[in-house]
Amino acid sequence: MTTEQPGQNGQNGQPEQPETVGSAAATVDDEHDVAPIGPAPTRRRRRRRATASPGRRRSGWPLLAPTVLVLAALTLWPFGLLLWTSLRRSSSTVGDDTFVGLDNLTGLLGDRAWWLAVSVTLLLVVVAVGLQLVLASVVAASIRRLRLPLAVVSVLLLAPFALLPVVTASVWRDAVTSGVGPAWFGYDGGSSAAAAFAVVSAEVWRGTGVTAVILLVGLTRVDRRLIDSAVADGATSWQRLLRVTWPAAAPAVAVAVLYRATDALRALEGPLLAAPSGGVATVPVLTWETTFESFERGLGAASGVLLLVLAGLLAALLVAVLRPGRRA
C-alpha cells in the first residue's frame, strides 16, 4: 500500500502546479492601468496618426481668405479700370470720351515708335540683369568664402535698394552726363550712349545688392560635404562650379533673374531722368509721356496694358527657360 506524497499527482507522480493562471488573467483584465502589449507609441507616431486622419485636418483658407480678397480687390479693380480706359478715346485736351474698342491697342501695335521703345526696353533689361547677375555672383561667392555674418551683410547689401529710385537715377545721371564722367574721360555727356549708360549704371548699382542676397541664400543650399567630396575626387574649380554649386543654387539664380528682369522692365525713374534734354525712350517713358504730357489717357492706358502683357510674356519665357520649380 503506497501513500501519496503531498504535492504529487496520484497518477503520474508529477508535482501539481498551483492554479494561479486563471486568477492572474482575471487580475490583468480588471486592471485599467496595465500597459498594452508592445512598445508604447512615441510622440512622432501620435503626431502622424493625428495628421493622417482626414477628419482632424484644418483648412487654412478661413485665415487666408481675407488677405486674398483684399489683394484681389486691390489688383483686379485697377486692372479693370485700366482695361476699360484703354477701350475709350479718353483725352483731357479735346474732351472726347467715346468708346473705340481695340483701336488704341491696334494703333500702338502698328506704330514704329512703340516697337522701338520695346526694343530699347528689352535691351536695357538684358544688359542690366546680366551685369547684376555677374557682379552679384562674385559678391555672394566672396562673402560665403569669408564666412561673414549673413544678417549684417544683408543689411549692407540692401542699402542701395532701400534708397528711392529717383534719387539713384538723379545721382547717376549727374555723374555720367555732366559730372565726373565727362570730366575724367572726356566724352560727350549729352549723347544717347551716355544717357543709356547712366540708366544701366543706376539699375546695376541699385539691384546688385538684392541679387547678391538672393544668390547668397541659394549658396547656403550647397552641402559642404559635396564640395569636399568633389575636391577629393580631383574635380577642378570649374567642374565643382558647374556640377555641384550651380545645380544646388540654380533655383535662387532663377528667382533672382525673374525678379530683377520684371523689376527692370517697369523702371521709369532712370530712363525718364537719364539726360537733361530728354529721357531714354522706353515703354514706361512712352506711357508716361502719352498720359501726363499729351494727356491722352486712352492711349496711355492701352500702353499700360501692353506693358503688362510684355511683362507676362517675359516672365513666362524666363520660367520656361530657367524652370525654377523643377530645379528646386
3-class secondary structure, 14: coil
- Is the pLDDT at 318 greater than 60? The verdict is yes
Q: Residue 277: pLDDT above 80?
A: no
Name the more confident of 142 and 287. Answer: 287
> How many other CB atoms sit within 10 Å of the CB of residue 271?
28
> What confidence category does residue 42 fall into, taking pLDDT thresholds of 50, 70 and 90?
low
Task: Report whether pLDDT(26) > 50.
Answer: no
Flag whether pLDDT at 328 surpasses 70.
no
Structural domains of the chain in order of their starting residue, each with its CATH number = 115-280+311-327 (1.10.3720.10)
Average pLDDT over residues 188-204: 87
Mean pLDDT of the chain, nearest integer: 79
Residue 132 has what pLDDT? 94
Question: CA separation (Å) from 180 to 90, 160, 279?
Answer: 44, 20, 20
Most confident of 70-79, 212-221, 232-241: 70-79
- pLDDT band of residue 3 (cuts 50, 70, 90) is very low
Q: Which residue has the higher pLDDT, 320 or 34?
A: 320
Quick one: average pLDDT of 253-258?
90
pLDDT at 208: 93
Contact 278, 237 (CB under 8 A): no
| Percent of the chain surpassing pLDDT 70 | 80
pTM of the model: 0.73
Please say if the pLDDT value at position 4 is more than 70: no
Higher pLDDT, 321 or 95: 321
Q: Which of the two residues, 274 and 166, has the higher pLDDT score?
A: 166
- For CA atoms 138, 144, 150, 156, give the dihedral sign: negative
Provide the pLDDT for residue 276.
Answer: 57
Does residue 76 carry a pLDDT above 50? yes
Q: What is the torsion angle, in degrees rounded to the nearest 10, for the CA atoms of residue 191, residue 193, residue 196 and residue 197?
A: -110
Over 90: is that where the pLDDT of 131 sits? yes
In this predicted structure, the answer to whether residue 25 has a pLDDT above a threshold of 80 is no
DSSP run (H or E) holding 141: helix 112-146
Spatial separation of the C-alpha atoms in residues 112 and 185, rounded to whole Å: 35
pLDDT at 249: 81
Tell me the one-letter amino acid at 62. Answer: P
